[in-house]
Structure 1
Amino acid sequence: MHLKDMTGLQLMQAFAQGKLPGPAITTTMPMDCVEAEHGRVLFTATANESHTNAMGGVHGGFAATILDSVTGCATHTVLGPGETYATTDLSIKMCRPLPFNKAVFSEGKVINAGRNLVISEGYIRDEAGKVYAHATATCMIIRPAAAA
């Protein structure tokens, strides 16, 4: 089966099962999709010293990228074959500094899937459930052009 023939859920499940290599961003931002179901994904992510800001902590862009990924990938799970998405809005609330070299969990869930827009939310938590950051996102559905 070609990638363009897979539903978004099939694609995300293939990533979670290790049947497809992760996208290139996972090299820069150590994150892995570990679960994917309709309307929901779960990632693990680990910030390291390469994600340091000028103050010596984990840069907020690390959390923003992880949250953009899980909200977008949750959106992807409700799309049909050949459909993609683009994030049109991402709102993030940082609750506390992210730790270095400690795996955190980021879950994305679809709140509403309409004809043209999908609204989702995401969290970054540690193994005890402590929240580090929260986001909401709106994604625009992009459908393949009709054959002429």
Structure 2
Amino acid sequence: MADERTRTYSWSDPLAALELAAGLSGVELMQKMAAGELPQPAIAETLGFRLTAAESGRAVFEAEPAEFHYNPIGTVHAGLASTLLDSAMGCAFVTTLDAATAWTTLDLKVNFTRPITVETGRIRCIGTVVHPGRRVATTEGRLEDLRGALLAHATGTILVLSA
């Protein structure tokens, strides 16, 4: 059997984090998370990525590809890229919302342009809002290496559930 590796990580209670965020607008929430004043979501801790910047209509995440992201063919699993893109696009949309507005991703279309490996180095995912509709919104995202090479890009549709 191949050399076994172990990974240990921790995360904050997601429901307690929701309470800390009560009353914050979407952009305030995302900016506090990016600044480390609020915890990153559990999925970010699980996959090893972080929200690093947020402003109205835009959110940026970064990750360092690692072996634990690999699929059976020796590249980073498409699920990491998809999760980063969904997170960046969703959080970009959150920055346009008032406090306590519920929403969900309706559609996510991802195009992969280059394989990602440990050798790729740190990757950055930028999500932007294309159309901030009152009921349905559209977003787009770009996943790049730090030299700006495009690794994947996506579009998304978001449904606003409550306002």
Task: Give me the identity figure in percent.
Answer: 37
The residue aligned with 1:17 is 35
* 1:27 counterpart SS class: helix
Give distance in 2, aligned partners of 1:99 and 1:79: 35
* Structure 2 counterpart of 1:100, one-letter code: V
C-alpha separation in 1, matches of 2:157 and 2:102: 13
CA shift digits 1:64-92 (9 cap, x unpaired): 11111001101111111110210000000
Normalised to the residue count of structure 1, the TM-score between the two structures is 0.92
Asked if residue 114 in structure 1 is aligned to residue 133 in structure 2, the reply is yes
Is 27-36 or 63-72 further displaced after alignment? Answer: 27-36
Residues 1:134 and 2:153 are matched in the alignment: yes
Which protein has the bigger strand share?
1
Cα distance in 2 for partners of 1:11, 1:85 equals 15
CA deviations 1:27-69 (Å, max 9, x no partner) are: 2211111110000011111221111111121111110111110
> How far does residue 2 in structure 1 lie from its aligned partner after superposition?
4.9
SS of structure 2 residue aligned to 1:5: coil
Residue number in structure 2 paired with 1:8: 26
Q: Is 1:75 aligned to residue 75 of structure 2?
A: no
What CA distance in whole angstroms lies between the structure 2 residues aligned with 1:84 and 1:11? 14
CA distance in 2, matches of 1:16, 1:2: 15
Q: Which runs of 5+ in 1 are unaligned?
A: none
TM-score normalised per structure 2: 0.84
Gaps of 5+ in 2: 1-18
Deviations 1:106-132 (A, max 9, x none): 100000011101111001111111000
Q: Which of 120, 123, 135 does residue 104 from structure 1 map onto?
A: 123
| Structure 1 residue ranges, 4+ long, deviating more than 3 angstroms after superposition | none
CA contact (8 A) 1:3 1:11 kept: yes
